[in-house]
Amino acid sequence: MIRTLFERLRQKHRTVAYPAKPPGVSDRFRGLPELSPEKCPAGCAECVAACPVGAISREGGAVRLDLGRCLFCGDCAAACPHGALRFTRDHRLAARQREDLVLGAGELKLAAALDAKMKSLFGRSLKLRQVCAGGCGACEADLNVLSTVVFDLGRFGIQFVASPRHADGLLLTGPVTENMALALKKTYDALPEPRLVIAVGACAISGGPYAGHAEVRNGAAAIVAVDLFIPGCPPHPVTILDGLLRLLGRLEVKT
């Protein structure tokens, strides 16, 4: 017993201070991309050609980057000879509307909170049923990390539950394969109303690298209405936590 107490003292407090303090992320972390159109000459399409999933396009001379399709591989930034595109260390990526994930010259429109009625229901206690609809396991691993002592998701009243009948919402990962489409729909139908749907990762938002394949539905929106999109491949645990807290009105929009 005494050894256990000494070890606890040695380890000290392990839970991150976020959102009270900014999160600590690695120097290698690729967060919100930043576009600098003034540096991008007309006719240049190096970044468009470098993107493996077609997340970057050039429309009317302006570069557009779809965070919902982006794998955050960094190939576009490496290919740009003018420094017009770079990845920042900003972890805030979640949005309420799919179209808000398409970046141009303006700022990303971060996720707004639920309306007053929904926030009164879920703002202090949110139970989520997680469904992996064909994911590779990366997004699922970062979701599991949220329940550890480091992030302690339960301190915000958010928990994962085993049954959809005990849940307030559905948290989906994976591109929604044909084999999982019916299971996803049945899980959604089993949720009591009102209910929420959260799509985590590029696969759940757009199909990710599997988009267009005959055996996938290209994301959650093909089956259910989505209330929150959290991009990434996979999203950092802090990015997921940030999106959930914004949805529940626990963070101000510009925090």
Quote the CA–CA distance of 148 and 158 in Å, as a whole number: 13
% the chain with pLDDT above 90: 79
pLDDT at 10: 77
Q: Is 134 left (phi over 0), alpha (psi -120 to 50) or beta?
A: left
Mean pLDDT, range 15-29, rounded to an integer: 90
CA separation, residue 21 to residues 17, 26, 58 (Å): 5, 16, 37
Q: Is the pLDDT of residue 36 over 60?
A: yes
| pTM for this prediction | 0.93
Mean pLDDT, range 235-255, rounded to an integer: 87
Confidence band of 193 (pLDDT split at 50, 70, 90): very high
Instruction: Give the chain's domains with CATH numbers.
Output: 116-247 (3.40.50.12280)
